[in-house]
């Protein structure tokens, strides 16, 4: 059985049907991801200090936001409206996957940057290298879209069945592409994150400040573990499924094809979880936020609200 026939057979079972799971989950990711990432970008825009980590986080928020903006079309498709042009579906898939791998590389950069900052805080070379964060981000965008675009363009010249988002991505069917996807796109970033997370925990435990009440080392370790857990939760099922698809070759059962689509949905959760893990839970982020600018953005800055807030704060802000 060929991949085309497999996709066609599986597609015939679901044409015109509403898949409540995909619609519900993608809707939640769309709303929450849009609100959280836009909020993060607005706050970064009004942040007084521009640290190297903030550069990575800003680009990560942009990548997650672009990914989120592709989900409404998937919701439309899973509602049973299957009349979308195939090339439009391919472009949406390209934007989603390019930004997903952009998020993976940027998360790796954030973890590596934190590790270098904590492990070698006084090294001039490290400090000089960290200043190249904008150039590294440009390299990430160039790599993700530059590597993905030729593969998708070559796919359009091949005669195939067109089933929009039901069709397997081309990198799941070509050995060379799937090997580079699993190694460069996931394996190497995962190895870097594991090593850097171990280095961060080791540096924190050896720090003299961690032995005092000035630094909550257990809290920092929990944040590192949570970030690594979110990374594995989001991307490990998806890439494991890609590996299994490659092992099956052309005879792909409908259950495995469904597993691919569900694992992609789980991977999209990362766009909603990143702001929680990397922005709003970090002490550094909260310290650098200009709270006056945040209050100006909120619709609660009337004179009455200001007076009420000033009365409620009283002598606490001393």
The per-residue pLDDT for 289 is 46
Whether 18 is in a domain gets the answer yes
Whether 59 is in a domain gets the answer yes
The per-residue pLDDT for 209 is 52
pLDDT digits (tens, 9 = 90+) for 33-88: 999 999 888 888 876 666 778 888 899 999 999 999 999 999 999 888 878 888 88
Whether 203 is in a domain gets the answer yes
| CA–CA separation, 38 and 255 (whole Å) | 36
The per-residue pLDDT for 290 is 45
The per-residue pLDDT for 189 is 95
Judged by DSSP in three states, 160 sits in: coil
Q: Which domain holds residue 178?
A: 3-287
Cβ within 8 Å of residue 121, ≥6 positions away: none
Start-end of H helices in 171-297:
175-182, 188-206, 217-248, 254-268, 270-274, 283-288, 291-297
Whether 313 is in a domain gets the answer no
Contact predicate 43/289, CB 8 Å: yes
| CA–CA separation, 268 and 79 (whole Å) | 18
pTM: 0.80
Q: How far is CA 123 from CA 35, 113, 129, 145, 201, in A?
A: 38, 13, 10, 33, 19
**Is residue 151 exposed (0-12), middle (13-18) or buried (19+ Cβ within 10 Å)?**
middle
pLDDT digits (tens, 9 = 90+) for 85-105: 888 888 888 888 889 999 999
Whether 74 is in a domain gets the answer yes
Whether 182 is in a domain gets the answer yes
The per-residue pLDDT for 3 is 41
The per-residue pLDDT for 300 is 47
Radius of gyration of the chain (CA): 22
Judged by DSSP in three states, 174 sits in: coil
The per-residue pLDDT for 134 is 92
**Which residue ranges in the chain fall short of pLDDT 50?**
1-5, 13, 16, 159, 214, 284-285, 288-295, 297-318
For residue 281, report the phi and psi dihedrals to the nearest 5 degrees. Answer: -110, 0
Contact predicate 200/114, CB 8 Å: yes
Whether 297 is in a domain gets the answer no
The per-residue pLDDT for 210 is 52
Residues of the chain with pLDDT > 90, as a percent, come to 29
Q: Structural domain tally of the chain?
A: 1
Q: What is the CATH classification number for the domain harbouring 280? A: 1.20.1070.10
| CA–CA separation, 279 and 288 (whole Å) | 11
The per-residue pLDDT for 280 is 57
The per-residue pLDDT for 279 is 65
Reported as half-sphere exposure (CB side, CA atoms, 13 A), residue 127 has a value of: 4
Average pLDDT value for the chain: 77
Full DSSP string of 63-107: HHHHHHHTHHHHHHHHTT-----HHHHHHHHHHHHHHHHHHHHHH
């Amino acid at each position: 059985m060929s991949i085309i026939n497999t996709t066609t057979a599986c597609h015939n079972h679901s044409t015109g049907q509403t898949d409540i799971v995909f619609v519900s989950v993608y809707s939640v990711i769309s709303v929450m991801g849009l609100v959280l990432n836009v909020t993060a970008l607005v706050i970064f825009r009004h942040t007084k200090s521009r640290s190297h980590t903030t550069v990575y986080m800003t680009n990560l928020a942009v990548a997650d936001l672009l990914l989120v903006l592709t989900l409404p079309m998937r919701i439309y498709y899973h509602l049973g409206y299957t009349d979308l042009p195939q090339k439009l579906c391919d472009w949406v898939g390209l934007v989603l996957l390019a930004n997903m791998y952009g998020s993976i590389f940027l998360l790796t950069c954030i973890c590596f940057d934190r590790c270098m900052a904590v492990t070698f805080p006084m090294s001039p070379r490290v400090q000089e290298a960290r200043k190249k964060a904008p150039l590294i981000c440009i390299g990430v965008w160039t790599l993700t879209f530059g590597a993905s675009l030729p593969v998708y363009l070559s796919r359009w010249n091949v005669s195939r069945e067109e089933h929009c988002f039901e069709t397997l991505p081309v990198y799941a069917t070509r050995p060379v592409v799937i090997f580079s996807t699993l190694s460069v796109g996931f394996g190497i970033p995962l190895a870097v994150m594991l090593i850097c997370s171990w280095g961060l925990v080791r540096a924190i435990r050896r720090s003299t400040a961690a032995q005092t009440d000035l630094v909550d080392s257990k809290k920092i370790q929990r944040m590192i573990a949570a970030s690594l857990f979110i990374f594995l939760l989001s991307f490990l099922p998806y890439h494991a499924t890609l590996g299994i698809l490659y092992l099956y070759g052309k005879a792909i059962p409908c259950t495995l094809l469904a597993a691919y689509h569900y694992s992609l949905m789980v991977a999209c959760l990362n766009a909603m979880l990143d702001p929680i893990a990397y922005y709003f839970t970090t002490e550094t982020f909260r310290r650098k936020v200009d709270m006056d600018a945040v209050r100006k953005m909120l619709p609660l800055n009337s004179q009455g609200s200001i007076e009420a807030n000033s009365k409620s704060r009283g002598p606490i802000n001393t």
